[in-house]
């Protein structure tokens, strides 16, 4: 990449950051704090971020989006979290949409993508995880049987976020029984479910209260009818389709963690400068400043891996290892930054009015979801280092 192009890209990225920050300034700490207390959905924020086109970053211009890359999308989510917000309220629209974009029919893309881009439709729900299978996705129990021009779906999903606040959901189902396929990844399909019609007609949504405000639910599916025309791609090849989107998800989540980490480091640094104990700012003590400095270094290192993964993704190259490693490094770094900040604040860190405990809870999620640290280590051991498969 030439020096001129790099300068132009850096300028655009800085302008993008400033644009996101300008929107986020309308939603200060008090806004997120009140929502956290009520475990309420940030409806006004999502509407504003959609209206400004940020959630349509990855949708091609021909369908009403910005046609940007995963690099730019990651910057948007990073800045939301860095501003004290929570991208988890809307981030799935970016990577979930990719399954429809890459594998949907021309008719499906024309029907849905422009409306997703302008905000008149929300696709923020991704129905994969089940209570009895967890990360062992190929053994999912939710079954879809074709009957004429419809699929009849039965099963259960858990920890499916934002179903109460979405119009559409991508649902992973088994269309061919596991014992009838040669490879366990075969026989799985992706259906696009219209939640506006499904709820009360075969789909029941039950909220799950969790440690952080994440709009998480469990789904009970009983004879839910989904039109065959809502099948994404070919029947039985859905597992491959969702894998395509998982690298994007890893990179975007890594960026959110980096945003969290930078929020924590800024808060810890400012507090350490201002807090005076024993007639000196606590930030003068190496026991306070060294952990903050180390957290900063870890965030910056994770950031480099995030950009490497994003560059590979945007250029169409293989990036599974880099996407997974960026997510692990960023999640670890943000959690370390969170711990350091809480320790820096001491007792005040547990008080809601300082927002540390809210962000502390939010960033802890990312060592568990959307993929756990141990699953990433298993992936790297097997696919990068060539060690025997451990599960």
How big is the chain, counted in residues? Answer: 391
Q: How far is CA 310 from CA 47, 67, 98, 253, 329, in A?
A: 27, 15, 15, 12, 14
Q: Is 73 exposed, middle or buried (0-12, 13-18, 19+ CB in 10 A)?
A: buried
Rounded CA separation 59/70 (Å): 11
DSSP 150-167: EEEEEEEEEEEETGGG-S
Rounded CA separation 85/78 (Å): 10
As a 3-state breakdown, the chain gives helix, strand, coil percent values, each rounded to 5, of: 60, 15, 25
Helices (H), 119-230: 195-198
Closest by CA position to 268, among listed 330, 344, 359: 344
* Residues 6 or more apart whose Cβ sits within 8 Å of residue 78: 255, 256, 258, 259, 262
Count Cα atoms within 13 angstroms, Cβ side, for 142.
28
Closest by CA position to 339, among listed 261, 249, 258: 261
Closest by CA position to 362, among listed 149, 129, 122, 84: 84
Give the three-state DSSP class for 189. strand
Q: Which residues are catalytic?
A: 249
């Amino acid at each position: 990449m030439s020096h001129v192009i790099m300068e132009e890209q850096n300028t655009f990225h800085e302008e993008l950051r400033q644009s996101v920050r300008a929107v986020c300034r309308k939603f200060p700490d008090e806004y997120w704090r009140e929502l956290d207390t009520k475990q309420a959905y940030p409806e006004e924020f999502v509407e504003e971020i959609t209206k400004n086109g940020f959630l349509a970053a990855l949708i091609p211009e021909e369908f009403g989006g910005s046609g940007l890359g995963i690099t730019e999308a990651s910057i948007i989510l990073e800045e939301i979290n860095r501003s004290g917000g929570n991208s988890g309220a809307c981030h799935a629209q970016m990577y979930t949409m990719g399954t429809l974009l890459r594998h949907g029919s021309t008719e499906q893309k024309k029907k849905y993508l422009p409306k997703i881009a302008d905000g008149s439709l929300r696709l923020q729900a991704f129905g994969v995880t089940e209570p009895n299978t967890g990360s062992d996705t190929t053994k999912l129990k939710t079954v879809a049987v074709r009957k004429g021009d419809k699929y009849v779906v039965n099963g259960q999903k858990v920890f499916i976020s934002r179903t109460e606040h979405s119009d559409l959901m991508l649902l992973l189902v088994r269309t061919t029984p596991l014992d009838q396929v040669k490879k366990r990844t075969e026989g799985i399909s992706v259906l696009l479910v219209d939640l506006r019609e499904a709820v009360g007609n075969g789909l029941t949504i039950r909220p799950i209260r969790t440690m952080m405000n994440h709009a998480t639910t469990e789904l009970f599916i009983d004879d839910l009818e989904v039109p065959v025309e809502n099948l994404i791609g070919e029947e039985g090849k859905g597992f491959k389709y969702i894998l395509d989107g998982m690298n994007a998800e890893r990179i975007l989540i890594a960026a959110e963690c980096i945003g969290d980490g930078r929020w924590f480091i800024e808060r810890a640094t400012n507090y350490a400068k201002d807090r005076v104990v024993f007639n000196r700012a606590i930030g003068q003590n190496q026991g306070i400043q060294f952990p903050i400095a180390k957290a900063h270094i870890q965030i910056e290192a994770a950031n480099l891996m995030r950009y490497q993964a994003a560059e590979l993704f945007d250029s169409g190259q293989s990036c599974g290892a880099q996407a997974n490693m960026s997510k692990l490094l960023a999640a670890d770094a943000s959690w370390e930054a969170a711990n350091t900040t809480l320790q820096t604040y001491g007792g005040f860190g547990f008080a809601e009015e300082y927002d540390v405990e809210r962000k502390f809870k939010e960033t802890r999620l990312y060592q568990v979801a959307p993929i756990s640290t141990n699953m990433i280590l298993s992936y790297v051991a097997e696919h990068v280092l060539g060690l025997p498969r451990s599960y």
